[in-house]
Amino acid sequence: MSASTVVSSPGKVLLAGGYLVLDPRHDGLVVATSSRFYTVVRAAAPQQGPLQIRVRSPQFVDATWTYAVHIDQGTVRVDQLPDDSAGKNKFVQLALDQTLRLAWEHMGPQPLAALLAHGLDVTIAGDNDFYSQRAQLTDRRLPATLQSLAALPPFLHTAVRLPEVHKTGLGSSAALITSLVSALLLHLQIVPADALASQGGLESASAGRKLAHNVAQYVHCLAQGKVGSGFDVASAVFGSQLYTRFDPLVIQPLMDNHLESVQSLSRTLSPENPAWDYRVAPFKLPPYTRLMLADVDAGSDTPSLVGKVLRWRKEHPAEADALWDALDASNKAFSETLLRLSELHDEQPAQYAVVVKYLASLQSIQWLAHPNIPDNQLKIVEAFSRAHLVSEDIRARMREMGSASGVPIEPPEQTALLNGCVAVAGVIGGGVPGAGGYDAIWVLAFDPAGCAEPEQPASRVAALWAGWRALDVSPLRAAESPAGGARVEALADVPGLAELVAGYVWSI
């Protein structure tokens, strides 16, 4: 066994398909982010006494959880030590408990005890983007800009306890569970060392990656106490994709009986189990475009938004079905157009680059106004124009759903902000991610090669955000993940991670 196993998993942005993705008839367009969660699993130092697993989240006050592991002929159990001052962490405990049960089923008690030896030492760290850095920027007298964020040390201490942290909506719990579960599966050799070696959709994924998905999906549902669509775990495992949800029935028996000691997890969670009917079609944003994200400091309670929208749908089935079908058509047109743009790039890279450079300096309403666009460029301009129009159509229909259900999906303050962003020269589109509300916005802008930073559309958008007074708009550093979904990392290659594991804490 290697000294330490490190697995990272990306955060997510649901660009299109909020609410609809809860229904397997529709899919969700989810982009995995460059901001990631990291889990480092190492053998604990030799010690006397019972087998223990120590989990640390060094970015938080009072965040070390210690668990005793009991392995016997019947099963394995993970109990938090009673004198632990950190309080409970349901997500972490369930990930350990359920993954070790799977390991027990896989190899039996003696080999598991031998593999765990003296116990495990686990470190969990999330990129700064997962938590609001407003307080840290204020303390350093820095403005809320991408430059300031880039100047912060990696894995900065948040100065608070976990329950008090202000999350930014990138899906911290799904990324955390996915990296923790995958690191344990690899460390305990339940999946082969190369299980995460290749990236891609479901078709090309290894059995090990699919197992990591099923376990993470199940543990996340268990910890949240409900079964959502699961797009966040799917993107943490597989990367950017068009996601179609799984039937909750596959894990219902486990959800109902997880505390019983004897049950077969491996049969239900096996990648061979045909009841796992989710679908993952790989997706990527077109070349020379850049996804920008901002955290808006006026959060919304996602479960209550979801509850209200689903109630409205139940009470007004005809109206809701018509709106969902129309939204679905627009969502599909959006993802198809973006994928088509990647093809157009591959077919005509030089023409594509010329078009990007040209459109990057114009507002979207001007893109088709030029009378003499050469034929071989016209279809590229038209595709970008279509992407813009469809994204605006999605926003309009999301607002319609919001007013029909009495839910602020794109509230007026966000509409004003997004209208401002979409009017910036070189912006393709924007919207409220996921369930919407006041939480966040996304913007897709051109990112032409060889264009100086101040002339980049992204710089104009950043300037708009910095000057926006009606809402407190804070940029996030994340862009689309270039690395796909969950992957194995070398500890020394992740800036700041080795120091964190060694006990060095970046303080505010």
Ligand X SMILES: Nc1ncnc2c1ncn2[C@@H]1O[C@H](COP(=O)(O)OP(=O)(O)OP(=O)(O)O)[C@@H](O)[C@H]1O
Ligand Y SMILES: C[C@@](O)(CCOP(=O)(O)O)CC(=O)O
Nearest Cα residue to 487 out of 39, 17, 72? 39
- Cα separation, 224 vs 337, in Å, equals 35
Strand, coil or helix: 438: coil
Query: Residues 54-73: x/- map of binding to ligand X (CB under 6 A)?
Result: ---x-x--------------
| C-alpha distance across the termini of the chain, in Å | 36
**Per CB under 6 A, 170 contacts ligand X:** yes
CB < 8 Å & 24+ apart, contacts of 77-83: 77/261, 78/53, 81/52
Q: Which of 89, 240, 300, 391 touches ligand X by CB under 6 A? A: 89
Residue 418 burial by CB count (10 A; 0-12/13-18/19+): exposed, middle or buried? buried
From the list 11-19, 86-94, 180-188, 450-458, the region that binds ligand Y by CB under 6 A is 11-19
Work out what residue 185 binds among ligand Y, ligand X, none; the CB cut-off runs from 5 to 8 Å by kind.
none
Shortest reach from residue 243's CB to ligand Y, in Å: 9
**Per CB under 6 A, 431 contacts ligand Y:** no
Are the CB atoms for 207 and 216 separated by under 8 Å?
A: no
Angle between helices 302-315 and 375-405 (to 10 degrees): 80
Q: Which of 16, 21, 195, 421 touches ligand Y by CB under 6 A? A: 21
**Per CB under 6 A, 196 contacts ligand X:** no
Specify the residue, 89 or 351, whose C-beta has the smaller distance to ligand X: 89
Contacts to ligand Y from residues 63-82, by CB under 6 A: none
Work out what residue 341 binds among ligand X, ligand Y, none; the CB cut-off runs from 5 to 8 Å by kind.
none
The strand pairing partners of 473, in sequence order, are 296
- CA distances to 41, 188, 419 from 2, rounded to whole Å, are 10, 11, 52
Q: Which residue has the tokens 């030799």?
A: 46
Q: Which of 175, 401, 422, 435 touches ligand Y by CB under 6 A? A: 435
Q: Which of 5, 229, 335, 481 touches ligand Y by CB under 6 A? A: 229
Sign of the Cα torsion 105, 485, 63, 90 reads negative
Shortest reach from residue 96's CB to ligand X, in Å: 12
Specify the residue, 92 or 216, whose C-beta has the smaller distance to ligand X: 92
Specify the residue, 88 or 370, whose C-beta has the smaller distance to ligand X: 88
Shortest reach from residue 309's CB to ligand Y, in Å: 7
Work out what residue 231 binds among ligand X, ligand Y, none; the CB cut-off runs from 5 to 8 Å by kind.
ligand Y
- Cα separation, 385 vs 359, in Å, equals 10
Q: Which of 14, 29, 53, 162 touches ligand X by CB under 6 A? A: 162
Are the CB atoms for 298 and 262 separated by under 8 Å?
A: no
From the list 173-181, 203-211, 321-329, 368-376, the region that binds ligand X by CB under 6 A is 173-181
Residues forming the site for ligand Y (CB under 6 A): 14, 18-19, 21-22, 169, 228-229, 231, 302, 306, 433-435
